[in-house]
Amino acid sequence: MSTPETVPVDPAFAARARLDADGAARLRERAARDPDGVWRELAGRLEWMRAPTEIRDVSFDRDDFRIRWYADGELNASVSCLDRHLDARGDRTALIVEPDDPAGEAQRISYRELHARVCRLGNALRNLGVRRGDRVTIYLPMTADAVVAMLACARIGAVHSVVFGGFAPQSIADRIADCRSKLVITADEGCRGGRRVPLKANVDAALKLAGTNSVETVLVVRHTGAGIDMQMPRDRWMHAVVDGQPDVCEPERMNAEDPLFILYTSGSTGKPKGVLHTTGGYLAWAAWTHEQVFDLREDDVYWCTADVGWITGHSYVVYGPLANGATQVVFEGVPNYPDVSRFWNVVDRHRVTIFYTAPTAIRALMREGEAPVKRASRASLRVLGSVGEPINPEAWRWYYEVVGDSRCPIVDTWWQTETGGILISPLPGAGPLKPGSATKPLPGIRAALVDAEGRAVEGEGEGNLVLLDSWPGQMRTVYGDHARFIETYFSTYPGMYFTGDGARRDADGDYWITGRVDDVLNISGHRIGTAEVESALVAHRDVAEAAVVGYPHDIKGQGLHAYVTLKAGVEPTDALRAELVQCVRSAIGAIATPDRIQWAPGLPKTRSGKIMRRILRKIAEGAADQLGDTSTLAEPAVVETLVADARAWS
Ligand code: WT7
């Protein structure tokens, strides 16, 4: 492997950074020598009602399994995010809410105001009968209401489950039913790119599909003012229930290991699983990583473009930044509305210093050329971040040179819904940076590569990415299915957490994530299980069988290629293709829209009937000359037909 090109850290940046190369090295050394000391210090950054004395209690051994951090500590996450800032910085702006409509005025919300709003809603939720441990589903646009709703749940010890506003009713229904939510918080409509999203109508449809009567109340935020159906007594207006509530609300005393939230994410099999995060360790990890990875300072204006419907929005819009008392932009809109300068205009308008987005957005904007970027000054920027999928070196360079004017370090942050926070990333003052590499595990994180048999890959090499030990932000279980948790993550390689990603490690010990090695796709940074798309397709009366794979896509990272076998006698038509696309959109949501549907007279299978996805992937990639071993195929002719037909795509 040739030595990858590196970008040295600017000495002036390093001189002011929280961690320079020496500082990072010292912390790594301490974390190796005295991990509990480092973890204890990490907890010290939170506001505890009772400080933890037990630091960690972890075993990845299936028969003696436990992950417990700070287990005798007591705290309330909303107190660490709000109350403790009130004395010294209550008037500081917590949120700058930039609406979808560029002509609309940005709303500034101080920590004091945010605290009051959270308290009023906390009281209202208690009045509506929501108790500690109850689940609340949140289906809201990217506005202050979403942040308030999440923290109000935390305040009263309710467990929030945020569902991304782009998900279709069936997906909302599955998520409500799985955790048996007592209450749903939504809005009349959302606005994205000038278009309205019928959030309340989607919730109505979801509740009809959910097959559960757990939901007693639907709280509706009046956002666009659109006329919607209110079904009494179930549906209540948010403004009506919070009106007149006191702006103080006693925070529930939570154990560090009490659940903070559930967030559903796709796996390689079955329905999305409810990733459960607990209070103390998660919050400490989100806060510490947010401060160190972005080199957060007192005068920063931070902006993460992720929606709160994803883990990035949980850890790096809500919990991390607010625990750190940061000032941040919350953006309702999209990068290309009203035009492709929007991000950079918002950066200038609010003098954003730290900007965190996804490679798919960078690639889409890159395609539009430099002019829309250069029209804005961007002089305030000092740190850039990337998250969600591998960033190709070309996009990295464009981000660095064009967006950051070659002044701002880029932190390429690798992590997952399951990890709660960033695990592998450069520290911007400790560098050097390498375009395309997430570089090194953060101090205290024990990453490793293993081969298919679980043997360690030492030094330079390639393998499957595992974590040998726990960290405070690790998920604790799959909600309602602890066996699935252990099965999914700790049984491929006993004694290790398996990430599902492949990676390469270079001679400097830097990691290059190569992508998922399981049947999970990463489409525009959104995680989609092939099994979910397949089950949406086979639900159609004309479909006999379907197999879905990913293929490289210039903008989206991966595109979605579906092979569909129709029932005997059904004509493959364009109308049917459109119907199938619609099936997927209405079962999951627009993010799972197939880019290609290929009619397949048959699917390549082993003699035992297992679909050979490896072959389907190669065909979709246009690499039919590299099919590898096909000797186990039951019917080789099937492959020839698929290859011939697939030429049309490339
Ligand atoms: C998967 C996790 C991390 C929050 C958003 C996505 C991929 C994530 C990177 C990165 C290469 C990355 C991995 C991972 N991924 N960040 N910097 N470089 N790949 O969270 O939906 O749970 O997806 O996203 O494949 O396993 P998620």
Q: pLDDT, tens digit, for every residue of 363-401? A: 999 999 999 999 999 999 999 999 999 999 999 999 999
Nearest to 349 by CA among 364, 370, 325, 333: 333
DSSP 126-155: HHTT--TT-EEEEE--SSHHHHHHHHHHHH
Least confident of 3-12, 112-121, 470-479: 3-12
Mean pLDDT across the stretch 338-347? 98
Q: 4 pLDDT exceeds 90?
A: no
- Provide the mean pLDDT of the chain: 96
Estimate the crossing angle of helix 636-646 against helix 613-621, to 10 degrees.
20
3-class state of residue 117 by DSSP: helix
CA torsion 617-619-625-629 (nearest 10°) is: 50
Regarding the beta carbon of 413 and ligand 1, being less than 6 Å apart is answered yes
The reported pLDDT for the residue numbered 603 is 95
Would you say the CB of residue 441 lies under 6 angstroms from ligand 1?
no
**Could you read off the pLDDT of 249-270 as tens digits, one per residue?**
999 999 999 999 999 999 988 8
| Atom 10, ligand 1: residue with shortest CA distance | 414
> Which tens digits make up the pLDDT trace of 548-566?
999 999 999 999 999 999 9
pLDDT, tens only, 408-449:
999 999 999 999 999 999 999 998 999 999 999 999 999 999
Residues making up the binding site for ATP:
388-390, 412-417, 501, 516, 527
* Minimum CA distance residue for ligand 1 atom 17: 414
Pocket perturbation via mutation, ligand 1, pick of 527, 528, 558, 591 by most ligand atoms within 8 A of CB: 527
Averaged pLDDT, 581-604: 96
The rounded Cα 390 to chain-centroid distance in angstroms is: 14
CA distance 104 to 111: 22
Structure confidence at residue 645 (pLDDT): 87
pLDDT at position 546 over 90 = yes
Bridge-based pairing state of the strands 447-450 and 456-457? antiparallel
Nearest CA to ligand 1 atom 21: 527
Q: Which atom of ligand 1 is least distant from the CA of 311?
A: 4
Q: How many CB atoms lie within 10 A of CB 583?
A: 18
- 204-208 long-range contacts (CB < 8 A, ≥24 apart) are 204/229, 204/231, 205/169, 205/173, 206/169, 206/170, 206/172, 206/173, 206/176, 207/173, 207/176
Whole-number Cα distances in Å, 425 to 383, 387, 454, 615, 635: 13, 10, 24, 33, 46
- Check if 416 has its Cβ closer than 6 Å to any atom of ligand 1: yes
User: Quick one: which of 358, 291, 313 has its CA closest to 147?
Assistant: 313
The atom number, within ligand 1, closest to the CA of 438 reads: 17
CA distances from 484 to 270, 274, 411, 427 (A): 11, 11, 33, 34
Residue 357 Cβ < 6 Å to ligand 1: no
pLDDT at 650: 61
Q: Which atom of ligand 1 is nearest to 414's Cα? A: 17
Residue 346 in 3-state DSSP? helix
Q: Residue of the nearest CA to atom 2 in ligand 1?
A: 416
Q: Residues forming the annotated binding site?
A: 192-195, 312, 336, 388-390, 412-417, 501, 516, 524, 527, 538, 540, 543, 585
**Closest C-alpha to 272, from 488, 64, 616, 528:** 528
Q: How far is the CA of 126 from the centre of ligand 1 (A)?
A: 36
Sheet holding 254-255, edge to edge: 48-50, 74-75, 254-255
Residue range 576-604: mean pLDDT, rounded:
96
- Indicate the pairing of strand 520-523 with strand 497-505: unpaired
- Range 343-360 average pLDDT: 98
Parallel, antiparallel, or unpaired: how do β-strands 526-529 and 410-413 relate?
Answer: unpaired
Taking the C-alpha atoms of residue 614 and residue 596, their distance in angstroms, rounded to an integer, is 18
* pTM score, whole prediction: 0.96
Strand-pair partners of 562: 548, 597
* Ligand 1 centroid to residue 414 C-alpha, Å: 6
Please tell me if the CB atom of residue 593 comes closer than 6 angstroms to any atom of ligand 1.
no
Q: Which of 387, 440, 520 to mutate to test the pocket of ligand 1 (most atoms within 8 A of CB)?
A: 387
Residue bearing the CA closest to ligand 1, atom 7:
389
Q: What would the pLDDT profile of 155-209 be if each residue is shown by its tens digit?
A: 999 999 999 999 999 999 999 999 999 999 999 999 999 999 999 999 999 999 9
User: Ligand 1 in contact with 70 (CB < 6 A)?
Assistant: no
- Model confidence pLDDT, tens digit, residues 633-648: 888 889 999 999 888 7
pLDDT for position 442: 98
> What digits encode the pLDDT tens for the residues 265-320?
999 888 899 999 999 999 999 999 999 999 999 999 999 999 999 999 999 999 99
pLDDT > 90: what percent of the chain? 94
- Rg of the chain (C-alpha set): 24
Residue 649 has pLDDT above 90, yes or no: no
Considering the chain, what percentage of its residues have pLDDT values greater than 70?
Answer: 99
Dump pLDDT digits (tens) for 98-148.
999 999 999 999 999 999 999 999 999 999 999 999 999 999 999 999 999
What three-state secondary structure class fits 378? coil
Dig out the tokens for 422 from the structure. 């960033």
Segment 37-45 shows an average pLDDT of: 98
Atom of ligand 1 nearest to the CA of 386: 17
Measured in whole angstroms, the distance separating CA 170 from the mean position of its chain's CA atoms is: 20
- Distance of alpha carbon 593 from alpha carbon 536, whole angstroms: 11
Of 94, 570, 595, the residue nearest 328 (C-alpha): 94
Confidence label for 1 from pLDDT (cuts 50, 70 and 90): very low
Name the closest-CA residue to atom 5, ligand 1.
388
Mean pLDDT of 448-472: 97
- Whether ligand 1 lies within 6 angstroms of the CB of 273 is answered as no
Q: How far is the CA of 389 from the centre of ligand 1 (A)?
A: 5
